[in-house]
Amino acid sequence: MVMTLQKGIIREGYDLGFAEGYDLGFAEGFAEGFAKGFAKGFAKGKLKARINDTLDILRNRFGNVPQYLVDALHERTDTIAMRSLIITAATCKTLDEFESEL
């Protein structure tokens, strides 16, 4: 009977430890995954906003923007480079000049 009681206590301790470890691991994994997903989504949104801002500036200054330039901008993946292109869009004299910076 003592042996059975000890096994029951050990099993109960194991189950409790497992449950706590699982809950802690799940919470940490969820928090880490959420943070990474949020950062990735934020970066994509920032890039998209810069592309749209660049197109808005070009359209405001030059009217219609050729589809190949629109496509070229949408292929961009570097947010920092897009910041530079926003400045170029605001200061270039022609669409050809802007295109040469792509």
Which residue type, as a one-letter code, is found at position 74?
Answer: H
Number of domain units in the chain: 1
Tens-digit pLDDT profile for residues 57-72: 999 999 999 999 999 9
For residue 75, the 8-state DSSP code is T
pLDDT exceeds cutoff 70 at 15 = no
Q: Which residue has the higher pLDDT, 97 or 25?
A: 97
C-alpha–C-alpha distance, residues 73 and 99, integer Å: 10
Task: Report the pLDDT value the prediction gives residue 6, as an integer from 0 to 100.
Answer: 59
Which residues contact residue 23 at a Cβ distance below 8 angstroms, ignoring those fewer than 6 apart? none
Task: Report the pLDDT value the prediction gives residue 56, as an integer from 0 to 100.
Answer: 96
pTM exceeding 0.75: no
Domain that holds residue 89: 2-100
pLDDT exceeds cutoff 60 at 1 = no
Q: What average pLDDT does the chain have?
A: 84
C-alpha–C-alpha distance, residues 89 and 98, integer Å: 6
